[in-house]
Amino acid sequence: MQTRRLLGAAAAALISVPLFGAEASAASRGAFIWDGEYWGFTYDAFEQGLTAGGATKVDRAPALPSDLLAYNLVIVVLPKVAPSSAESSTLASFVQGGGALVLVSDMQGYAPEPSPIFNALLPGLGVEARFAMPDRLGAGGFDVVVANILANPLRILAPLLSGLVAPGGHLVLAGLLDRQAAGIAQCYPAIALEAWRSLDGWTCLAGVRRS
């Protein structure tokens, strides 16, 4: 199994991490939201967006199905406890089969904070990864860096985030209004950032570090 270095960064904000470069969409099959019942999140708009993106169905439950063949996107939302060995095995098989796995965490405001759960889970999926606050990121050289922390933090942290991306690595920036995207892209001259997707007034930028 190939191992890739991947980093997610957030500051009191949600982050979602697509593994193995799999596109976070549910175009050909369905999407499953594994809701840890950790908070009172309103899913209506989220589920509508998945359906608009081509999901044939969107299911949500507090328990992970043992069979994920009906889905090509699984979203794990703020788990209270670490997945069991059986659940971890199910997720590993899903990712190895080409499924897209998105992990939703929050760096502040929840106790216990779920990032350590994800940090323990990811190596079993063949990914060397960690969720961390910006002041705890350490050395760079990551193949993928994902940050969903709104425009001002992305502007301020541009030198730090750019430095974390390995040559030829990928940077994904989210939490941007459409009108903010071009200005933020200019803050990252070392990264060839372009608009990846826009939805309901929000844009996600993605690009590769220049040689």
- Containing H/E element for 174? strand 165-177
Query: In this model, does residue 26 exceed pLDDT 60?
Result: no
Lowest mean pLDDT among 22-31, 165-174, 200-209: 22-31
* Architecture of the domain made up of 16-112: 3-Layer(aba) Sandwich (3.40)
What value does the mean pLDDT of the chain take? 76
In percent, the amount of the chain with pLDDT more than 90 equals 22
Name the one residue in this structure whose structure tokens are 């002041």.
135
Query: In this model, does residue 6 exceed pLDDT 60?
Result: no
What is the structure's pLDDT at 110?
59
Name the one residue in this structure whose structure tokens are 């050909």.
28
What CA–CA distance (Å, rounded) separates 186 from 120? 35
Query: In this model, does residue 132 exceed pLDDT 60?
Result: yes
What CA–CA distance (Å, rounded) separates 148 from 127? 20
Q: 91 by DSSP, 3-state: which?
A: helix
Residue-wise pLDDT for 168-183, tens only, equals 999 999 989 999 999 9
Residue-wise pLDDT for 78-130, tens only, equals 777 788 899 989 998 988 888 888 887 765 555 566 778 888 888 888 777 67
Name the one residue in this structure whose structure tokens are 């406890």.
81
What is the structure's pLDDT at 138?
65
* 1 confidence band (pLDDT: 50, 70, 90): very low
Name the one residue in this structure whose structure tokens are 């590769």.
208
Lowest mean pLDDT among 14-23, 27-36, 79-88: 14-23
Q: Residue 58 corresponds to which amino acid?
A: V
Tokens of 140: 């760079």
In percent, the amount of the chain with pLDDT more than 70 equals 71
